[in-house]
Amino acid sequence: MACSGDDPVEPTVYDVPKVVEKYVQSFVEEGQKRGIDIKLENLIVEIKATGATSGDECGSCTQAGTNGQRKITLVETGLCWGTTIEQNREALVFHELGHCLLQRDHRDDLLPGGAPVSLMNSRAVGFYEACAYPIGNEDECDKRYRRTYYLDELFNAKVPAPDWAR
């Protein structure tokens, strides 16, 4: 028997909890709307109570193995996942998928009005959230109208700044 010298390629795994699957499928659909084909054959997502990431991070993405297996770890506690609203859960999953599937790095610059340029911002939260308790001026509180821009930018970092950002 002779050895070829090549390491065997590990099989890929797709294992995403049901509570996260809807966001993953939405990510794929949003990519398709923008002409981006997303392949999901090697993605693992875990939700851990604590200690899943370092510092104040709510998630992380790692790639390993000969097959490029991608693994996202989300923190279940507090505002990361457990008690946050739907839009922030989606934004967190989309951010980590941006790292794992789109090879996006953090982008911490700001739009002229002070909002983050990108969903790939490492410090911001509440990119396009609804108001929990709308008091006073709802336009400043309810940011759901921003979702389209942030998803456009996620899939194309060269998208122009939106009118609301000026």
Q: What is the DSSP string of 75-115?
A: E-STTTTTS--HHHHHHHHHHHHHHHHH-PPP---B-TTSS
Q: Is residue 8 part of a domain?
A: no
Q: Is residue 50 part of a domain?
A: yes
- Considering its fold, how many domains does the chain have in total? 1
Q: Is residue 2 part of a domain?
A: no
- Whole-angstrom CA distances from 148 to 78, 92, 124, 128, 156 are 26, 16, 17, 9, 12
CA triple 65-47-78, angle to 5 deg: 140
Q: Is residue 146 part of a domain?
A: yes
Q: Is residue 58 part of a domain?
A: yes
Whether 16 contacts 73, CB under 8 Å: no
In angstroms, rounded to a whole number, what is the distance separating the alpha carbons of residues 27 and 21?
10
Q: Is residue 149 part of a domain?
A: yes
In angstroms, rounded to a whole number, what is the distance separating the alpha carbons of residues 129 and 137?
15
Proportion of the chain above pLDDT 90, given as a percent: 60
The CB density around residue 2, as the number of other CB atoms within 10 Å, is 4
Q: Is residue 105 part of a domain?
A: yes
Q: Is residue 32 part of a domain?
A: yes
Which structural domain, as residue segments, surrounds residue 141?
14-165
Band of pLDDT at residue 51, cut at 50, 70 and 90: low
pLDDT in tens, 62-106: 988 777 899 999 999 878 898 888 999 999 999 999 999 999 999
pLDDT in tens, 144-159: 999 999 999 999 999 9
In angstroms, rounded to a whole number, what is the distance separating the alpha carbons of residues 61 and 64?
10
Considering the entire predicted model, what is its pTM? 0.87
pLDDT given at position 142: 85
- Whole-angstrom CA distances from 109 to 103, 112, 119, 121, 141 are 18, 10, 11, 8, 21
pLDDT given at position 53: 47
Instruction: Give residues with Cβ within 8 angstroms of 166, minimum separation 6.
Output: 111, 112, 113
3-state SS, residue 160: coil
